[in-house]
Chain A
Amino acid sequence: MWADAIVTLIKLAVVIGVLLTTVPIMVWVERRGSALIQDRLGPNRVGPWGLLQPVVDAVKLITKENLIPDGVDHFLYILAPFIALAVALSTFIVVPFGQGDGLTLFGSKIHGFIVAPDLNIGILYIFALAAFGVYSIVIAGWSSNNKYSLLGGIRSSSQMISYELAMTISVVGVLMASSSFRLDQVVMAQTGTWLGFIPKWNVFPQIIGAITFMVAAFAETNRLPFDLPEAEAELVAGYHTEYSSMKFASFFMAEYINLVTSSALIVLLFFGGWTLPGLTIPHGWAGAILSLVIFAAKVAFFLWFFVWIRWTLPRFRFDQLMALGWKVMIPLAVVNFLWVGVAMALGIL
């Protein structure tokens, strides 16, 4: 019993620790990566290769003056960044991040590298919380007493609910293929190969679903080319225009944590999680660590992919974005799972 509790607490500590350290790393990757793409140097003064830059940023943000403009709704104004960060952190609890079956620690079973191993609602939990994240943006926009924030807030709510539909529908095909809401089982269903060389990853039969999911993930995390809620040139800074100091930093951290969650989801749902074709991960600690490394590498690739896209593409216009979401993404997502249904009924998959 106590061992169970300790194991759970260790997992909790690891997840929170990893998430919170990923944020500064991502900030650094984003800044150095954009510099690389843009033929610049990027931050290179603080620490080797500017590695300590995010630390300095954090210190700066934490010591910044907190400016609350007149006329804001105080309670909601403070609640918004709070929701953003709390929700972003809570999402990761059902995300498995490695193969940990049959391992024990202090005599207690680990039940896989996942904080809540026996939770059978997995992906539903993530979608529920992701939907909750919209509130922080709407509330921030509404409470700021600024028209640009307000426009950003309502834009964002429309955008996120539109793409949430596409996102949920594009996952249906994956659920059909794996018959479970649990993400570790989704990964299990993707082990092995077809014809000996094509990995059994969902991305191959469900390429349409994978693309719609990725596009929706960009939209849900408000990244370019879908960063309309905070479209700098149009809406100044959108919903967080009036935020400063740590409250601004909360939004900022939430954005990067969501980025990690989204990348992890893309890997788990469509790119086989910690599996690699032709590689049987051994049981025991060595296998566990190997699976962690593979998973981390895949997630890192998609994190870089987010950065890469951001500094390459221009931004959509709002009406174009909505048209894309409703008229293209949703039908495509439906086509995806219908195809999976037909293929499974015919026994192809």
Chain B
Amino acid sequence: MTASRTETTMLPQPQVDLLPKEGVVAVEHGVDGHTVLTVEREHLLDVLKSLKETPGLDCNLLADICGVDYPERDARFDVVYHLGSLEHGHRFRVKVPVTEDDATVPSAYGLWKAADWFEREAYDMFGIRFDGHPNLKRILTHEAFHGHALRKDYDPSQRWLLTEENLMTPKWSTGEQKNDDHLDTQVLNLGPSHPATHGTLRTVARLDGEYITEAECEIGYLHRCFEKMSETHGWEQVIPYTDRLNYCSSMINGVGYALTVENLLGVEVPPRAQVVRVILSEFSRIMDHAVCLGANLVDLGALTNFWYFFQIREEIYGLLESCAGGRLTVSYARIGGLAHDVPLDFEEHVRSLLARIPKFIDDVDKLVTTNKIFRDRTEDVGTISGEEALAWGWTGPCLRASGIPYDVRKAYPYSGYEQYDFDVPVASTGDTYARYLVRMEEMRQSLRIIEQAIDNLPPGPVITDDHHVALPPKEKVYTEMESLIWHFKLIFDGIKVPAGEAYGFTEGANGELGYYIVSDGTGHPYRIKVRPPCFAIYQAFPHMLEGSLVPDAIAILGSLNIIAGELDR
């Protein structure tokens, strides 16, 4: 039985004597392998600073910041930080309780730039203020919104209408231009409805000729209240919502969610289910990269490659459809395994895909990789250094294109990834071309993983036999009394996840996809916070734009693969 990350020992642990002492109220070990520090607000910045800068701790990745609302507590809100060290592998969860009247914490923006949008989101959703934040305003909801939507006492039936008058227009865009050297500049909206913003993304840019001198992004056009809705749904019912996060690779999202809940439940997933999850996740990754690269190339005027890649996507959809019934939104993962077993011709189908897909990748490779026009368009465009990228909280292919080989599948293997022989492609230049190369290679590596997985697809059940979590098979329900009772109980009560919290993270197509889940022991999640990899990546985008041309902005945006569904949730 391969170990998934349900065992806490799977995450490396920090040296205890190095941990900061002052202001730390409690140190615990989470079921998810995180070291959980509860910290007084006054000492928060010191604790974060020592976690980041103490040699041996070196938490260089700020994965996530979010709020949790406990209305019955005196200190009503927890502000939760998730930190990690790429060097040592250990992970921290730092919690700061604050009261409703004085819901203010110092901003971590000075330590990690990644805090920028995460803090804005916590402010938007909970009304927690971050002292010293450069631009603390609403992010997912709009300017005309009242109240803070993720507070437990927020009434979701209210409607706040956005009119043209209070549409976000950055102050700088209406005021004087900063730099007198420039000739007259003009302000241009790129999006929300622009051919190159695949999805509803909006960037307001000030142009000098075709050079962008200033830019700001507005997101939230596709905000669907995923986190709020999951608080009123059963644990299983959340899975279809996760499909809509990164809708280009919905399988990975479902698996990530299931893994986190399984971690809280302490449930083991049967080996067959693990292997199928890996196969379909890797196919989803190929699909996602294909869409990203295809769309990026369309923006550069190379439409043909888009169709080659979409052919890949189409054929993989065929496989997903035969397994799950759905194509875009598969809802195939279940807590404890999979919804049902794969079809009989699964292995054959996978092998035929393995034989066909490389052809399309090679075709694009030949058309584009050494093409002079393409290289001129992408080399030295949107360059970001590894340090800078990490400071912004980047993960996934975009970070690896800047030379940092962080891949959750290698660093924290789950679902048996440690058994597979694959490389983590890394590029050093950190430009748009590097991101293209990394994604191309990752598709090939994913094929390698699938090839090994399909060779070792074990027989057996695809869902756990723990009937607190999974329904017994139908034929048993019809024939055995005990199974009938299990069925009845589970349908009526739903899955009950023991009280606790866990941060589960997997390698999504864009990077570290994290789910921070708090359970209060009832049939509903108490709080689910998704850590979307796009969110961290996209917050650096306006800063990358300054000084580049409009066509560069399009090329950079395409290479970052911002998926609005995941960004806005």
Q: Which residues of A contact B (CB under 8 A)?
A: 34, 37-40, 147-148, 151, 155, 224-225, 227, 231-236, 311-320
Cβ contacts under 8 Å, B194 to chain A: 236
B377 contacts chain A at the CB level, 8 A cutoff: yes
Residue in contact with A37 in the complex, picked from B196, B304, B377, CB distance below 8 Å: B304
**Minimal beta-carbon separation of B48 from chain A (angstroms):** 41
A142 to chain B, nearest CB (A): 14
Taken together as a complex, chains A and B put the C-alpha atoms of A227 and B303 apart, in Å, by 13
Q: Which one, B231-239, B345-353, B548-556, is touching chain A?
A: B548-556
Q: Say yes or no for B188: interface residue by CB 8 A criterion.
A: yes
Q: Are A312 and B377 in contact (CB under 8 A)?
A: no
Given the known interface contacts A147-B188, A225-B373, A315-B373, the answer about A234 and B302 at a Cβ–Cβ threshold of 8 Å is no
Min C-beta distance of A211 to chain B, whole Å? 15
Inter-chain contacts of B300 with A (CB < 8 A)? 233, 314-315
Chain B nearest Cβ from A255, distance in angstroms: 16
Cross-chain contact A39 with B308 (CB below 8 angstroms): yes
CB pairs A–B below 8 angstroms (24 shown): A34-B304, A38-B307, A39-B307, A147-B188, A148-B188, A225-B373, A227-B301, A231-B551, A233-B299, A234-B196, A234-B299, A234-B551, A234-B554, A235-B550, A311-B303, A312-B367, A313-B373, A314-B300, A314-B371, A315-B302, A316-B373, A317-B376, A317-B552, A318-B210
Given the contacts A147-B186, A151-B210, A233 and B304 also touching, CB distance less than 8 Å: no
Q: Are A319 and B549 in contact (CB under 8 A)?
A: yes
* Residues 200-246 of B at the A interface (beta carbon under 8 Å): 210
Chain B nearest CB from A229 CB (Å) reads 13
Is B411 among interface residues, defined by CB-CB distance under 8 A? no
B149 interface hit (Cβ, 8 Å)? no
With A311-B304, A314-B297, A318-B549 known, 4 other A-B pairs at CB within 8 A are A225-B301, A311-B303, A315-B302, A315-B377
Contacts of A319 in B (CB 8 A): 549
Residues of A within 8 A of B196 (CB): 233-234
Among all A-B residue pairs, the 9 with the closest Cβ atoms = A315-B301, A233-B299, A314-B302, A38-B307, A233-B196, A314-B300, A317-B551, A314-B301, A311-B304
Q: B346-381 toward A: CB 8 Å interface, digit per residue (1/0)?
A: 000000000000000000000110010110110000
Interface string of B51-90 (1 = CB under 8 A from A): 0000000000000000000000000000000000000000
Q: Which of B106-130 contact A (CB under 8 A)?
A: none
Taking CB atoms, residues of chain B closer than 8 Å to A312 are 302, 304, 367
| Closest-CB distance, B292 to chain A (whole angstroms) | 14
- Within the assembled complex, what's the spacing in Å between the Cα atoms of A39 and B549? 33
B550 touches A314 (CB 8 A): no
A155 to B207, CA, bound (A): 14
Q: How far is the CB of A301 from chain B (nearest CB, A)?
A: 20
B214 to chain A, nearest CB (A): 16
Residues of A within 8 A of B27 (CB): none
Min CB gap A176→B, angstroms? 31
Q: Is B8 interfacial (CB-CB < 8 Å)? A: no
Q: Which residues of A contact B210 (CB under 8 A)?
A: 151, 155, 318
Q: If the complex has contacts A151-B210, A232-B195, A236-B195, are A313 and B301 also in contact, measured as CB distance less than 8 A?
A: yes
> What chain B residues lie within 8 Å of A148 (beta carbons)?
188
A319 to B380, CA, bound (A): 14
From the candidates B188, B307, B368, name the one contacting A314 in the complex (CB within 8 A): B368
CA distance A191 to B315 in the complex (A): 54
Interchain CA distance A40-B210 in the complex, whole Å: 36
Complex interface: chain A residues within 8 A of B301 (CB): 224-225, 227, 231-233, 313-315
Q: Which residues of B contact A (CB under 8 A)?
A: 186, 188, 194-196, 210, 297-304, 307-308, 311, 367-368, 371, 373-374, 376-377, 549-552, 554
Shortest beta-carbon distance from B311 to chain A in Å: 6
Q: A316 contacts which chain B residues (CB < 8 A)?
A: 373, 376-377
Q: Are the C-beta atoms of A313 and B371 separated by less than 8 Å? A: yes
- CA of A241 to CA of B186, assembled, Å: 19
Shortest Cβ gap from A343 to chain B (Å): 30
Say yes or no: A317 contacts B377, CB within 8 Å: yes
Distance in angstroms from A247 CB to nearest chain B CB is 21
A233→B301 CA distance, assembly (Å) = 8
With a CB–CB cut-off of 8 A, which chain B residues contact A311? Answer: 303-304
Name, among A227, A234, A315, A319, the residue most crowded by chain B CB atoms within 10 Å (CB to CB): A234
Query: How far does the alpha carbon of A232 sit from the alpha carbon of B197 in the complex, in Å?
Result: 12
Give A39 to B188 CA distance when docked, in angstroms: 37
Q: Do A233 and B549 touch (CB < 8 A)? A: no
Measured between beta carbons, the chain B residues less than 8 angstroms from A151 are 210, 550
- Inter-chain CA distance A224–B300, complex, in Å, is 10
A319 to B311, CA, bound (A): 33
Using Cβ atoms and an 8 Å threshold, which residues of chain A touch B299?
Answer: 233-234
Complex-state Cα separation, A148 to B189, whole angstroms: 10
Q: Which residue of B lies closest to A228 (CB)?
A: B551
Contact B376 A320 (CB under 8 A): yes
> How many whole Å from A25's CB to the nearest CB in chain B?
22
Q: For the complex, what is the distance from the CA of A119 to the CA of B196, rounded to whole Å? A: 48
What B residues does A224 contact at CB under 8 A? 301
Task: Kindly list chain B residues whose C-beta atoms are within 8 Å of the C-beta of A317.
Answer: 376-377, 549, 551-552
Max count, chain B CB within 10 A of own CB: residue among A37, A233, A236: A233
Chain B residues with Cβ under 8 A from A155's Cβ? 210
**Which A residues are CB-close (under 8 A) to B302?**
312-315
CB distance from A244 to the nearest CB of B (A): 17
Return chain A residues, CB-CB under 8 Å to B554.
Answer: 233-234
Please, how many angstroms separate the alpha-carbon atoms of A110 and B450 in the complex?
71
Q: How far is the CA of A50 from the CA of B300 in the complex (A)?
A: 29
CA distance A233 to B196 in the complex (A): 5
Most buried by B among A235, A314, A318: A314
Task: With both chains docked as a complex, state the minimum distance between the C-beta of A90 and any C-beta of chain B, in angstroms.
Answer: 30
Set B304, B373, B552: member contacting A38, Cβ < 8 A: B304
A314 touches B195 (CB 8 A): no
Closest beta carbon of chain A to B532's beta carbon, Å: 24
Identity of the chain A residue whose Cβ is nearest the Cβ of B189 in the assembled complex: A147
A314 near B377 (CB under 8 angstroms)?
Answer: yes
Please pick, from B297, B307, B551, the residue contacting A40 in the complex, using a CB distance under 8 A.
B307
- Establish whether residues B373 and A318, one from each chain, have CB atoms under 8 Å apart when the complex forms: no
Which residue of chain A is the closest to B187 with respect to CB atoms? A147
A38 contact set on B, CB distance < 8 A? 303-304, 307-308
Closest Cβ–Cβ distance, residue A316 to chain B (whole Å)? 6
Query: How far, in Å, is B373 (CB) from chain A's closest CB?
Result: 5
Bound Cα distance from A232 to B376, whole angstroms: 19
Give A43 Cβ to nearest chain B Cβ, in Å: 15
Q: Which residues of A contact B311 (CB under 8 A)?
A: 39
- Set of chain B residues within 8 Å of A39, measured between Cβ atoms: 307-308, 311
B373 and chain A: residue at smallest CB distance: A314
CA of A151 to CA of B186 in the docked complex: distance in angstroms? 11
